[in-house]
Amino acid sequence: MVFSSLEFLFLYFAVTIMIYFIVPLAFRNVVLLIVSLAFYGWGEPIYVTIMLVSIIIDYICGYFAGKYRETNKKKARRFVIISAVLNLSILCFFKYYTFIVSNLQLLPFDFLQKIPLLENMELPIGISFYTFQTMSYTIDIYRGDARVQRNIASFGAYVTLFPQLIAGPIVRYQDVDDQLRSRPHNIELFASGMRTFICGMAKKILLANCAGAMWEGFQELSATDATVVGAWLGLLFYAFQIYFDFSGYSDMAIGLGKMLGFQFKENFFYPYVSKSITDFWRRWHISMGTWFREYVYIPLGGNRCSKLKNYRNIIIVWLLTGFWHGASWNYVLWGIYYCIFLVMEKLFLLKVFQRLPSFVGHVYTLIVVFFGWWLFVFEDLSAGVTYLGYMFGQGVVAFTEPGATFDLLRSALFLVILCIASTPYPKKLFYKLYEKGKAARVAISACCAGMLVLCTAYLVDSSYNPFLYFRF
């Protein structure tokens, strides 16, 4: 089940909200645990077991890490290591086993060929997200950044919390520690959450899905039909699809959290207005970047070490970041790709851009990100190379043709909407209108209602509603 579905909107969520607000405050975490497990198990009930195992592992490890943190640091650290090893072992088995074995079998050793590939094994959706979350609990306890959660139902609610379970944001335990114990519930917060959810859903359904349909149309063109203009236009639509899809899901998660009394941190902050790659990654998937910074980069020494070790730390983080996104070489290359630019910016590029007009850095960032998406989207590297050839006139019939030109003209208004929607201006306009008074707020509510109706109509009429995070 996904947020952008009729089953979620008019069945699951409606029933969940009703039950959640009927039960007493003391039992709401228990309700969240039950309904979140039901949400996750809707499509793949067998993998609920894995989540329950993760809950038990980290509940026990967190308890003992907290128990020995002051009296026996070595023993406390041992439980942190146990948590990390067990969680990462589960993640690696389900996500990377086939990838690792298939690459090992390329080596000329007969015994490697006898290892089963398990190609039919499905990846539990969202396993990378909730693995990182459960690990953050034990680490936060060990560091003294959070209190031990003695109520296993409350801890289970944190791990399984359905708003951010399958597509993030990655919520660190220290950020919701207090909220799990006590959180506000009121009309204003619920209404704000509803508006955030609807705006996120509009991003996903009305913008991302439409951009994705355009991208798939261009991607599936053969050499006899492809054009240079069409290839560039297709990848541009993918760049918008992945942004609005991911940020839309994050907004929906944040909105759902508000309705339930939780305050999740922003996960996207208009990354396409960035003026450097460093700035881009401070704005894109902020929760992932924060996790790697807090639990990998800083423990390695961060930037409080020699320059050489600092570059080493960046390389390690970005190799892990790339591999986190999927069990395929293109993601590793994608991580290396960004690592190169981040290191170059540390060395000299940022200083260069400071002396140049700001638009230069902006153009540079968009170009780097654009080709980064080419590397990201093609798990089949040979298909990616072929498509890149189309973009530069290799193997295509023409630079353009009437159909591609027509697609460009037809899509011009949609592209303008996508460009504007990826900037802070719509949100700034919203706040300006919201401050105008009651009449403006009624108009905003009417717009939100209209977007909900449009999204519902799209879901009823269209079967195209991809879920991009199955590999995570």
| pLDDT tens digits, 355-366 | 999 899 999 999
Contact 162, 464 (CB under 8 A): no
Q: Tell me the average pLDDT across 284-309.
A: 91
Q: Are residues 53 and 196 both part of a single domain?
A: no
Q: Are residues 264 and 128 both part of a single domain?
A: no
pLDDT tens for each residue of 151-184 = 999 999 999 898 888 777 888 888 888 898 889 8
Q: Are residues 206 and 144 both part of a single domain?
A: no
Distance between CA 67 and CA 70 in Å, rounded? 8
Q: Is residue 1 part of a domain?
A: no
Q: Is residue 80 part of a domain?
A: yes
Proportion of the chain above pLDDT 90, given as a percent: 52
Model confidence at 471, pLDDT cuts 50, 70, 90, reads low
Q: Tell me the average pLDDT across 273-290.
A: 94
| Residue 94 tokens, joined | 């389900």
Q: Are residues 299 and 356 both part of a single domain?
A: yes
Q: Is residue 448 part of a domain?
A: yes
pLDDT at site 343: 93
pLDDT at residue 75 greater than cutoff 70: yes
Among 267, 52, 95, 240, smallest CA distance to 168 is for 267
Q: Tell me the average pLDDT across 189-207.
A: 93
Least confident of 66-70, 100-104, 206-210, 461-465: 461-465
pLDDT at site 398: 63
Proportion of the chain above pLDDT 70, given as a percent: 96
Q: Are residues 171 and 237 both part of a single domain?
A: no
Q: Are residues 111 and 72 both part of a single domain?
A: yes
* Nearest-5° Cα angle at 308, 304 to 312: 85
Q: Are residues 223 and 239 both part of a single domain?
A: yes
pLDDT tens for each residue of 220-274 = 776 667 788 888 989 999 999 999 999 999 999 999 999 999 999 999 999 999 9
pLDDT at site 441: 80
Q: Are residues 312 and 400 both part of a single domain?
A: yes
Q: Tell me the average pLDDT across 177-205.
A: 91
pLDDT at site 293: 93
Q: Is residue 110 part of a domain?
A: yes
Helix (H, G, I), strand (E, B) or coil at 398: strand
Q: Which domain holds residue 280?
A: 189-461
Is 325 an annotated catalytic residue? Answer: yes
Residue entry with tokens 């220290």: 174
| Residue 340 tokens, joined | 């190169």
pLDDT at site 63: 93
Residue 152's alpha-carbon distances to 20, 29, 60, in angstroms, are 18, 10, 10
Among 246, 78, 249, 244, smallest CA distance to 163 is for 249
Contact 247, 196 (CB under 8 A): no
- Tally of domains within the chain: 2
Q: Are residues 228 and 156 both part of a single domain?
A: no
pLDDT at residue 58 greater than cutoff 60: yes
Contact 230, 278 (CB under 8 A): no
Domain boundary among 183, 207, 242: 183
Q: Is residue 468 part of a domain?
A: no
Crossing angle of helices 228-259 and 381-391, in 10° steps, is 120
Q: Is residue 466 part of a domain?
A: no
Residue with more model confidence, 361 or 47? 361
pLDDT at site 337: 96
pLDDT at site 446: 87
Q: Is residue 440 part of a domain?
A: yes
Distance between CA 42 and CA 7 in Å, rounded? 10
pLDDT at site 256: 94
Domain boundary among 155, 183, 211: 183
pLDDT at site 400: 64
Domain boundary among 167, 183, 199: 183
Residue with more model confidence, 144 or 400? 144
pLDDT at site 461: 82
pLDDT tens for each residue of 374-396 = 999 999 999 899 899 888 888 66
pLDDT at site 196: 93
Q: What is the Cβ-side half-sphere exposure of residue 121, based on CA atoms within 13 angstroms?
A: 16
Q: Are residues 240 and 115 both part of a single domain?
A: no
Amino acid at 390: Y
pLDDT at residue 397 greater than cutoff 70: no
Q: Is residue 469 part of a domain?
A: no
| Residue 117 tokens, joined | 């590939």
pLDDT tens for each residue of 403-454 = 556 666 777 888 999 999 999 998 888 878 877 777 878 888 888 889 999 9
Among 256, 239, 269, smallest CA distance to 4 is for 256
Residues written for the chain = 472
pLDDT at site 318: 94
pLDDT at site 413: 86
pTM listed for this prediction: 0.92
Q: Are residues 238 and 157 both part of a single domain?
A: no
Helix (H, G, I), strand (E, B) or coil at 342: helix
Q: Are residues 274 and 295 both part of a single domain?
A: yes
- The catalytic residue among 185, 285, 325, 362 is 325
pLDDT at site 33: 92
pLDDT at site 427: 85
